[in-house]
A and B are shown apart, each in its own frame.
Chain A
Amino acid sequence: MSKKILIAEDDEGILDAMKLMLELEGYEVRATRDGKTLYDMKEELPDLLLLDIWMSGMNGRDICKYLKSQEQTKRTPIILMSASKDTEKTAREAGADDFLAKPFEIDELVAMVAKYT
Chain B
Amino acid sequence: MLSLYAASGTTITYYIKELLFQGQVHVHSPMGNLQNLEGVKIGIRGNWQLTEEELSTMTQREKETFQELLRQQKHQLYMLNVALSNTVDFNYVLDLDGRFLYVNKPLLELWGKTLEEAVGKNFEELGYPPHLVQLHELQIKQVIQTKKPVKGENPYANPQGKAGYYEYTFVPVFDEKGNVEAIAGSTHDITEKKRAEEKEKNEEAQRIMRADMQEQYLRALESKDVPVGIVILEGEKRLITFVNPVISKLWGRTKEQVLNRPLFEAIPELDGQVFKNLLEGVYTTGIPYFGTEVPAVFIIDGKEEIVYFNFVYSPIRYEKGTITGIFVTAIDVTAQVHAKQQVIAEQQRLYDFFQHAPAAIAVIRGKDQVYELANELYQKLVGKTAEQLIGNPGRKSLPELIPQGIWDIFDTVYCTGETFFGQEFPVQLDRLGDGNLDQRYFNFVAQPIKNDKGEVERIFIHAVEVTDQVEARKRAEESEARLEQRKRLYEAITASTPDLIYVFDLHYRFTYANEALLKMWGRTWDESIGKRLLEVGYEPWHAEMHEREIDQIITTKQAIRGEVAFPHATLGRRIYDYIFTPVLNTQGEVEAIAGTTRDITELKELSRQKDEFLAVASHELKTPVTSIKAYAQVLQRLFKNKGDAQSVELLAKIDGQINKLITLIADLLDVSKMQAGKLQLRLHTFDFDELVTEVVDDIQRTITQHTIRTELTQNTMVYGDRDRIGQVITNLLTNAVKYSPDADIIVVRSSVATGTVTLCVEDFGLGIPREKQAKVFERFYRVEGSKENIYPGLGLGLYISSEIIRRHGGTIWVESTEGQGSTFCFTVPTRKRTLQQQEDSLDEEAIKHE
Contact = CB atoms under 8 A, between A and B. Distances in A.
Interface of A: 11, 13-14, 16-18, 20-21, 24, 83-86, 88-89, 102-106
Interface in B139-194: none
A20 B682 CA distance: 33
> Considering residues A20, A83, A106, which has the most beta carbons from chain B within 10 angstroms of its beta carbon?
A83
Contacts of A104: 626, 629-630
Contact of B623 (A13, A21, A106): A13
Interface of B: 619, 622-631, 633-634, 636-638, 658, 662, 669, 673, 680, 682, 723
Contacts of B637: 21, 24, 106
B680 A86 contact: yes
A84 B619 contact: yes
A105 B638 CA distance: 15
Contact of A83 (B622, B658, B682, B723): B622
A14 B682 contact: no
A85 B670 CA distance: 11
- Interface of chain A, helix or strand or loop or mixed? helix
Contacts of A89: 680, 682
A88 B638 CA distance: 31
Nearest to B627: A13
B619 A24 contact: no
A60 to B, nearest CB: 14
Contacts of A105: 633
A18 B673 CA distance: 29
Contacts of A88: 682
What is the interface of chain B mostly: helix, strand, loop, or mixed? helix
Nearest to A86: B680
Contacts of B629: 103-104
B634 A14 contact: no
Contacts of B636: 106
B682 A24 contact: no
A103 B619 contact: no
Contacts of A13: 623-624, 626-628, 630-631
Given A17-B631, A85-B723, A103-B658, A24 B623 contact: no
B630 A11 contact: no
B409 to A, nearest CB: 94
A20 B619 CA distance: 23
Interface centre among B625, B629, B633, B680 (most CB of A within 10 A): B633
Contacts of A21: 630, 633-634, 637
A83 B623 contact: yes
Contacts of B625: 103
B626 A16 contact: no
B630 A17 contact: yes
Given A13-B624, A20-B634, A103-B626, A83 B662 contact: no
Contacts of B633: 21, 105-106
B627 A16 contact: yes
A24 B638 CA distance: 8
Given A24-B638, A89-B682, A106 B630 contact: yes
A107 B622 CA distance: 19
A14 B630 contact: yes
B723 to A, nearest CB: 7
A102 B622 contact: yes
6 contacts: A11-B627, A13-B626, A21-B637, A24-B634, A83-B619, A102-B626
A103 to B, nearest CB: 4
Contacts of B658: 103
Contacts of A85: 723
B719 to A, nearest CB: 16
A35 to B, nearest CB: 16
Contacts of B619: 83-84
Contact of B634 (A11, A86, A106): A106
Given A20-B634, A103-B662, 12 more contacts: A11-B626, A13-B624, A13-B630, A14-B630, A17-B630, A18-B630, A83-B622, A84-B669, A86-B682, A102-B622, A103-B658, A104-B630
B139 to A, nearest CB: 172
A16 B623 CA distance: 12
A105 B656 CA distance: 11
A89 B681 CA distance: 10
A20 B631 CA distance: 8
Contacts of B628: 13
B701 to A, nearest CB: 13
B738 to A, nearest CB: 23
| Among all A-B residue pairs, the 9 with the closest Cβ atoms | A13-B627, A17-B630, A106-B633, A103-B626, A83-B622, A102-B626, A14-B627, A103-B629, A20-B634
B77 to A, nearest CB: 197
Nearest to B681: A86
B683 to A, nearest CB: 10
A54 to B, nearest CB: 9
A86 B669 CA distance: 11
Nearest to B655: A105
Contacts of A14: 623, 626-627, 630
A20 to B, nearest CB: 5
A85 B682 CA distance: 10
Contacts of A11: 623, 626-627
A89 B633 CA distance: 28
Given A11-B627, A13-B627, A14-B627, A103 B622 contact: yes
Nearest to A11: B623
A103 B660 CA distance: 12
A97 B289 CA distance: 146
B723 A17 contact: no
Contacts of A24: 634, 637-638
Nearest to B658: A103
Contacts of A83: 619, 622-623, 626
Nearest to B669: A84
